[in-house]
């Protein structure tokens, strides 16, 4: 329901960037066929600043009628070929231009991201926004390198393959890295010549909308990118079900991933899913603890723990368990939580009231299950969705806090007996997105990296993410690989051409 008044001054009190404030004051509409328009229904919804619970802006609430129009626009743009059939150098230049515009407006985008999501400005400035620009730049480089093959056919024939765009793509993204997730989706889709309907998460639509303006400013033809803000059931489900969308790419919960997969069956859309995780973060006794403790713990707390690859199950070998848990707890107690515009803050609030209640619920579950609270364990007092950095120890891998994705700043320390046990417990989860190993023994590092069932394994580091390397899940963490050259596979299809000589 729309609020009677929105006070940008009150809601965005920490922000200092005048362009960000000006953007907040403008209407937030849908992008369809190159035009910014209200939702057909006229409805809007609120986006909230999670630091102070004030309404930042009213956003157009798109639903099926709007998705239908966006799909028509995307189909027309695709079929007319002013994107899919232009020369690769030209299309590459558009992607480079988008990257340049993100860099040019980096401070504005970082402040909008911090206002909408609650992540500290130091992180949105140093990570989210530059990484989004790099992603467009990286895929700009790919446009001129999307090759087909000539195949060793019988000499009386000539056989070659063409890599062609898939067509109209629906892309549904979450709220934890709003601009970066838009870049991971749009970069490769646009590079390969597809047209897109993007649905940002209802909690964090602002930077995707600003990115839409920048993409139009870059001169990308109308209809190539369409943005439908709105809710999962309504906007998101209409995309997943739409008979004229060729591919759907989704990042979010495993639960919704399954709904998307079912909905895609109607017209057999190509589907890629990047879902949840419950990553093992295995610290062997020979690890360099000065490096392992802070980096592994930040692998839990980064972005207030709202990270699909967060290393929330910290495994420590039994003989060192007490010593290492003391160090992990000491580090956790020193993590500064607070106003995301304050440079001293390492973590800000959770994104929403819903997420806050969910994470608070898990704090109670952990206590009831008999885990020991070694740090934190409480929600912050006062306004904003703050939860203290928390470490549970004496956790068993069977407990709910070790099995279910909490998506908050909550780590669980679990003991193991030996390498086999560490790998067994580490893999004993329905997820398989990422994992980490801490050891100075290189042979063990490689062996364990091979044994872990996860799409990414970090050795003596955490959260190394870069468009050069693929990202995606084993098991119920999804399928398909984003980033790297693998995303080119997601957004192209192969045609085999036979010619009689
Ligand atoms: P979610 O519902 O999976 O949201 C992800 C995206 O899917 C959003 O854009 C959402 O729209 C959309 N969506 C929701 N229901 C849909 C439907 N029936 N059809 C099509 N699209 C739909 O995630 P959430 O509810 O925000 O968070 C719940 C939990 O999911 C978190 O606690 C966390 O465990 C997990 N999660 C994982 C990731 C990840 O990166 N893997 C990201 C976010 C959340 P609206 O939000 O606009 O309704
Ligand atoms: Mg918000």
Q: What is the pLDDT of residues 47-97, one digit of tens each?
A: 999 999 999 999 999 999 999 999 999 999 999 999 999 999 999 999 999
pLDDT-derived band of residue 314, with 50, 70 and 90 as boundaries? very high
Q: How far is the CA of 205 from the centre of ligand 2 (A)?
A: 7
Nearest ligand to the C-alpha of residue 175? 1
62 lines ligand 1 (CB under 6 A): no
199 lines ligand 1 (CB under 6 A): yes
Per the listing, tokens 């231009």 go with 97
SS3 assignment, position 429:
coil
Q: How far is the CA of 260 from the centre of ligand 1 (A)?
A: 11
Q: Residues 345-349: what's their mean pLDDT? A: 98
Examine the pLDDT at 3 and tell me if it is beyond 70.
no
Nearest-atom index, ligand 1, CA of 175:
43
176 lines ligand 1 (CB under 6 A): yes
Examine the pLDDT at 17 and tell me if it is beyond 80.
yes
pLDDT-derived band of residue 458, with 50, 70 and 90 as boundaries? very high
Q: How far is the CA of 38 from the centre of ligand 1 (A)?
A: 24
What's the pLDDT at 221? 98
**Cβ contacts of residue 494 below 8 Å, gap of 6+?**
148, 161, 162, 163, 164
DSSP string over 233-275: IIIIHHHHH-TT--EEEEES-HHHHHHHHHHGGGGT-EEEEE-
Q: Which residues are 198's β-sheet partners? A: 171, 227
**Protein residue with its CA nearest to atom 28 in ligand 1:** 253
d(CA 312, CA 277): 9
Per-state percent for the chain, helix, strand, coil, to nearest 5 = 45, 20, 35
**Protein residue with its CA nearest to atom 11 in ligand 1:** 232
Domain(s) of CATH 3.40.605.10: residues in the chain: 8-275+478-496
pLDDT-derived band of residue 184, with 50, 70 and 90 as boundaries? very high
**Protein residue with its CA nearest to atom 10 in ligand 1:** 232
d(CA 401, CA 156): 63
What's the pLDDT at 5? 76
351 lines ligand 1 (CB under 6 A): no
Examine the pLDDT at 1 and tell me if it is beyond 50.
no
Which of 1-10, 307-316, 375-384, 413-422 shows the lowest mean pLDDT across its residues? 1-10
Domain(s) of CATH 3.40.309.10: residues in the chain: 280-468
256 lines ligand 1 (CB under 6 A): yes
Helices (H), 46-170: 64-80, 88-104, 106-117, 121-123, 129-142
Nearest ligand to the C-alpha of residue 11? 2
What's the pLDDT at 229? 99
Nearest-atom index, ligand 1, CA of 352:
26
pLDDT-derived band of residue 381, with 50, 70 and 90 as boundaries? confident
Q: How far is the CA of 222 from the centre of ligand 2 (A)?
A: 27
482 lines ligand 1 (CB under 6 A): no
Q: Of the residues 179, 252, 434, which should be mutated to test ligand 1's pocket, given the most ligand atoms within 8 Å of the CB?
A: 252
Q: How far is the CA of 500 from the centre of ligand 2 (A)?
A: 59
The pLDDT tens digits for 256-284 are: 999 999 999 999 999 999 999 999 999 99
Catalytic machinery residues: 274, 308
Q: Alpha carbon of 48 to those of 5, 59, 113, 206, 449: distances in Å?
A: 13, 11, 12, 11, 41
What's the pLDDT at 2? 47
Nearest ligand to the C-alpha of residue 206? 2
Q: Residues 181-198: what's their mean pLDDT? A: 99
| Mean pLDDT across the chain | 97
Q: Which CATH architecture has domain 8-275+478-496?
A: 3-Layer(aba) Sandwich (3.40)
Give me the percent of the chain exceeding a pLDDT of 90: 98
Examine the pLDDT at 380 and tell me if it is beyond 90.
no
pTM here is 0.98
Q: Which CATH number does 280-468 carry?
A: 3.40.309.10
Give me the percent of the chain exceeding a pLDDT of 70: 99
Q: How far is the CA of 47 from the centre of ligand 2 (A)?
A: 4
Nearest ligand to the C-alpha of residue 202? 1
237 lines ligand 1 (CB under 6 A): yes
Examine the pLDDT at 36 and tell me if it is beyond 80.
yes
Nearest-atom index, ligand 1, CA of 174:
5
What's the pLDDT at 136? 99
**Protein residue with its CA nearest to atom 30 in ligand 1:** 253
170 lines ligand 1 (CB under 6 A): no
What's the pLDDT at 131? 98
Per the listing, tokens 């959770």 go with 350
240 lines ligand 1 (CB under 6 A): yes
59 lines ligand 1 (CB under 6 A): no
The pLDDT tens digits for 403-445 are: 999 999 999 999 999 999 999 999 999 999 999 999 999 999 9
257 lines ligand 1 (CB under 6 A): no
Nearest ligand to the C-alpha of residue 203? 2
**Protein residue with its CA nearest to atom 27 in ligand 1:** 253
**Protein residue with its CA nearest to atom 8 in ligand 1:** 201
What's the pLDDT at 422? 98
Nearest-atom index, ligand 1, CA of 355:
32
Per the listing, tokens 């059939």 go with 85
**Protein residue with its CA nearest to atom 29 in ligand 1:** 253
Q: Phi, psi (5° rounding) for residue 44?
A: -135, 165
What's the pLDDT at 144? 98
Q: Alpha carbon of 286 to those of 81, 234, 292, 426: distances in Å?
A: 58, 52, 11, 18
């Amino acid at each position: 329901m729309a609020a009677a008044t929105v006070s940008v001054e009150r809601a965005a009190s920490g922000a200092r960037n005048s362009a960000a404030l000006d953007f907040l004051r403008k209407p937030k509409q849908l992008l369809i066929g190159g035009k910014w328009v209200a939702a057909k229904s006229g409805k809007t919804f609120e986006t909230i600043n999670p630091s102070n619970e004030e309404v930042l802006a009213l956003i157009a609430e798109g639903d099926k009628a709007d998705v239908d129009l966006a799909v028509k626009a995307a189909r027309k743009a695709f079929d007319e070929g002013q994107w899919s059939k232009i020369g690769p150098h030209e299309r590459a230049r558009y992607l480079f231009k988008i990257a340049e515009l993100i860099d040019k407006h980096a401070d504005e985008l970082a402040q909008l991201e911090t206002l909408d999501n609650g992540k500290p400005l130091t992180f949105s400035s140093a990570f989210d926004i530059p990484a989004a620009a790099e992603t467009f730049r990286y895929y700009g480089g790919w446009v001129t390198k999307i090759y087909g093959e000539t195949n060793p056919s019988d000499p009386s024939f000539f056989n070659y393959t063409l890599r062609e765009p898939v067509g109209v793509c629906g892309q549904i993204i979450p709220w934890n890295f709003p601009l970066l997730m838009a870049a991971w989706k749009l970069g490769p889709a646009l590079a390969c010549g597809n047209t897109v309907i993007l649905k940002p998460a209802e909690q964090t639509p602002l930077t995707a909308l600003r990115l839409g303006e920048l993409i139009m400013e870059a001169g990308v033809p109308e209809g190539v990118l369409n943005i439908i803000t709105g809710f999962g059931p309504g906007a998101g489900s209409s995309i997943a079900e739409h008979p004229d969308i060729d591919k759907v790419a989704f990042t979010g919960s495993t639960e919704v991933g399954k709904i998307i997969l079912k909905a895609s069956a109607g017209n057999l859309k190509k589907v890629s899913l990047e879902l949840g995780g419950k990553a093992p973060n295995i610290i062997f006794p020979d690890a360099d603890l000065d490096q392992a403790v802070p980096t592994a713990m930040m692998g839990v707390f980064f972005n207030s723990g709202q990270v699909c690859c967060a290393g929330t199950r910290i495994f420590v070998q039994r003989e060192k368990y007490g010593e290492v848990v003391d160090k992990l707890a000491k580090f956790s107690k020193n993590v500064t939580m607070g106003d995301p515009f304050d440079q001293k803050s390492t973590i800000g609030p959770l994104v929403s009231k819903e997420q806050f209640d969910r994470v608070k619920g898990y704090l109670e579950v952990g206590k009831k299950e008999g885990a020991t609270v070694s740090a934190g364990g409480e929600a912050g007092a006062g306004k904003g969705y703050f939860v203290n950095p928390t470490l549970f120890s004496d956790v068993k891998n069977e407990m709910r806090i070790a099995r279910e994705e909490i998506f908050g700043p909550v780590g669980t320390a679990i003991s193991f007996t030996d390498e086999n046990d560490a790998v067994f417990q580490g893999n004993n989860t329905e997820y398989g997105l990422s994992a980490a190993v801490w050891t100075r023994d290189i042979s063990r590092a490689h062996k364990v990296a091979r044994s872990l069932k996860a799409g990414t394994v970090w050795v003596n580091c955490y959260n190394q993410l870069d468009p050069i390397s693929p990202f995606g899940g084993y098991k119920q963490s999804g399928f398909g690989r984003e980033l790297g050259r693998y995303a080119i596979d997601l957004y192209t299809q192969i045609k085999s051409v036979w010619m009689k000589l």
